[in-house]
């Protein structure tokens, strides 16, 4: 089992986190871990993101990763802060090779057959299908997964509480990325833990 596959199998949902205040980091991470979602994707979309990763890395039982990683500078900053896996919106050879050289699991975004073929050329077989809904949704991923039967996916982008079970029912899907678990803003720990428990209990094919 590859390292990134281990991350994807931790829970049915990887929370996609956009956090503006580092003071919210540990309460959010603690609430998610308590609810059964240990893999935490902190997107590098806010000035506080690197500090948020550093704070979440201190939470026992959690595995914090960095999302929206665009280049080697982002990659190195995230690793230095304590990120244990990397998620990217797209797939580039340079960034993928840099992650492999640094021995950190990478889950790159793909939306086309060409994207997947480039990933396979680099030795990858696990991908983020992104943006999932606007790239054709479930019918598109089914069509892509047929020729790339050896690949497994984490659909992200537009996946919500209504559609998550449909995505997880696909043979090619190990988990999904979801932003509904933690709304942006000051955290309500009890509500986050409740949503996390519901997400952690979702059935999946694999």
Angle between helices 189-200 and 25-34 (to 10 degrees): 40
Complete edge-to-edge strand list for the sheet that includes strand 13-17: 152-155, 126-129, 106-110, 86-88, 63-67, 39-43, 13-17, 176-178
128 in catalytic set? yes
| Residue 16 half-sphere exposure toward CB, CA atoms < 13 A | 23
Spot the catalytic one: 30, 55, 128, 133.
Answer: 128
Nearest partner of 77 among 56, 51, 106, 116, judged by Cα: 51
Spot the catalytic one: 30, 41, 55, 133.
Answer: 41
CA-based R_g, the chain, Å: 16
Lookup: tokens for 116:
């997947």
133 in catalytic set? no
Lookup: tokens for 206:
């694999």
- Residue 49 in contact with residue 24, Cβ under 8 Å? no
Which are the catalytic amino acids?
41, 128
């Amino acid at each position: 089992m590859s390292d990134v596959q281990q991350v994807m199998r931790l829970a049915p949902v990887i929370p996609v986190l956009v956090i503006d205040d580092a003071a919210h980091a540990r309460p959010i991470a603690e609430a998610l871990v308590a609810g059964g979602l240990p893999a935490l994707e902190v997107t590098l979309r806010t000035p506080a993101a690197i500090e948020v990763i550093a704070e979440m890395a201190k939470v026992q039982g959690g595995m914090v990763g960095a999302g929206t990683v665009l280049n080697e500078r982002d990659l190195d900053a995230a690793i230095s802060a304590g990120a244990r896996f990397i998620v990217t919106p797209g797939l580039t050879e340079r960034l993928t090779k840099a992650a492999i050289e640094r021995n950190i699991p990478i889950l790159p975004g793909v939306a086309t057959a060409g994207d997947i073929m480039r990933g396979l050329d680099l030795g990858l077989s696990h991908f983020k299908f992104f943006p999932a809904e606007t790239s054709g949704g479930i019918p598109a991923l089914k069509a892509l997964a047929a020729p790339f039967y050896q690949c497994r996916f984490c659909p992200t982008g537009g996946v919500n509480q209504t559609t998550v079970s449909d995505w997880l029912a696909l043979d090619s899907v190990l988990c999904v990325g979801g932003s509904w678990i933690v709304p942006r803003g000051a955290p309500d720990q009890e509500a986050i833990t409740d949503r996390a428990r519901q997400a952690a209990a979702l059935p999946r094919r694999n």
